[in-house]
Amino acid sequence: MHTLSHPYSNVLNFFNHSRPSFCRVGATRISIKCGHGFESVYGFGSARSDWQSDCAILTSKVDSLKDSHVVNENSNGGADHVAAVNGHTSAVSNLNLVPIESKKQIQPKPLTISDLSPAPIHGSQLRVAYQGVPGAYSEAAAGKAYPDSQVIPCDQFEVAFQAVELWIADRAVLPVENSLGGSIHRNYDLLLRHRLHIVGEVQLPVHHCLLALPDVRKEYLTRVISHPQALAQCEHTLTKLGLNVAREAVDDTAGAAEFVATNNLRDTAAIASARAAELYGLQILADGIQDDPNNVTRFVMLAREPVIPRTDRPFKTSIVFAHDKGTSVLFKVLSAFAFRNISLTKIESRPHRNRPIRVVDDESEGTAKHFEYMFYVDFEASMAQVKAQNALAEVQEFTSFLRVLGSYPMDMTPWNPSSCRGGD
């Protein structure tokens, strides 16, 4: 991509597309640690060409697979190559049916608008990774964000990140914040370590149910299991229901329901969605047990490429920054937004002591830096707005590490607790 000729070239320079050389598309596993013992962090100002060269690696791998065949120049090249890497070899093998002679005469086809669409690969469904099993709230959020998509359950948040990086999925939808439980810190840390971009957000009202095997009564219960966030969101209601029983954390809400069902546990209930009850054959002992009827979880949508920021609708921008000379930078950074009347919707600090990170600069030079804290800020402006660009230019002067995690449309969906029942 020639960023200089792009209308948002100055904006795009804020996005980072680089990654260290150990990390390649097409590899079976992505390691988080660099060879030097530094955590890899995708820092401000790195070149987009790095990302593209990795795509070239992916392409060349497929080319080498079909070395003995002449490439059909009329094919949609990259898209078919990707399909082959993802295990859908039909498009590539079709090429082999075309006689070699006729291939030589076919001229390249002009690009059309649909070729420019980054994902899904033409004609196929968008594949969206989420953490959990079917019936999880994250699955409902993935469906809300991308209604006609194919959802891919992943056992850990990190796997959802990797699924997108390895082209197994086109997007990931992951929770970052709940109105009662607060931030889901793990995903903030993973946003820093991985190179994906936030391309959207979706708010899901979370309506919890207490689920048990058919004919089980509340009095039989000695244990309630669920995702730690779900347990926290229902803490007081469980006590009010007289359930002063053991509360145990598991990986996700629907997984808890599945566990009760498959192990035929008559002394254990799960906190999960009504949809999980239906999927795993459980009865709903109590409905709407979240302590706050306005319980909402905010999810972010992640992709390999950023969206081009616009000004014709409300946008939000997420950044992460740090300074290697202490934490006084926070006040200065906040003033850059306050001065321009830019509203902040989130500030999160994550301790980062004893974890040197490698910051990659414009020349792809990696330098180890020590930061005490990483600060995450979301603000209500688009990177296409001059005031946001100026604010970030100032922030860059105050900080030794700055990365734009994404500039994306805000979820403006109006909702009220009685009409929206996430996960149903």
Ligand X SMILES: O=C(O)C(=O)C[C@]1(C(=O)O)C=C[C@@H](O)C=C1
Shortest approach of ligand X to residue 265 CB, angstroms? 18
Our CB check for ligand X shows the closer of 31 and 156 to be 156
Question: Contact between 76 and ligand X (CB under 6 A)?
Answer: no
Question: Contact between 202 and ligand X (CB under 6 A)?
Answer: no
Shortest approach of ligand X to residue 107 CB, angstroms? 50
**Site residues for ligand X, window 250-289 (CB under 6 A)?**
252-254
Our CB check for ligand X shows the closer of 175 and 409 to be 175
Number of residues that bind ligand X (CB under 6 A): 15
Count CB atoms within 10 A of the CB of residue 310: 16
Question: Contact between 297 and ligand X (CB under 6 A)?
Answer: yes
**297 counts as catalytic:** yes
**Site residues for ligand X, window 354-393 (CB under 6 A)?**
none
The token pair at 1 is 């991509």
Catalytic residue among 299, 321, 337, 375: 299
Shortest approach of ligand X to residue 273 CB, angstroms? 7
Q: Which stretch binds ligand X (CB under 6 A): 48-56, 192-200, 222-230, 332-340?
A: 222-230
In Å, the largest CA–CA distance within the chain is 79
Give bridge partners of residue 374 from the DSSP assignment: 350
Closest listed residue to residue 257, CA positions, set 206, 204, 209, 207: 209
Shortest approach of ligand X to residue 293 CB, angstroms? 14
Peptide bond into 120 cis (omega under 30): yes
Residues 131-170, one symbol each (x = binds ligand X by CB under 6 A, - = not), give -x---xxx--------------------------------
228 Cβ neighbours under 8 A, 6+ residues apart = 249
Q: What is the 3-state secondary structure (H, E, C) of 54-111?
A: HHHHHHHHHHHHCCCCCCCCCCCCHHHHHHHHCCCCHHHHHHCCCCHHHHHHCCCCCC
Shortest approach of ligand X to residue 155 CB, angstroms? 12
125 Cβ neighbours under 8 A, 6+ residues apart = 148, 149, 150
Catalytic residues: 297, 299
Residues that bind ligand X (CB under 6 A): 132, 136-138, 175, 178, 184, 206, 227, 229-230, 252-254, 297
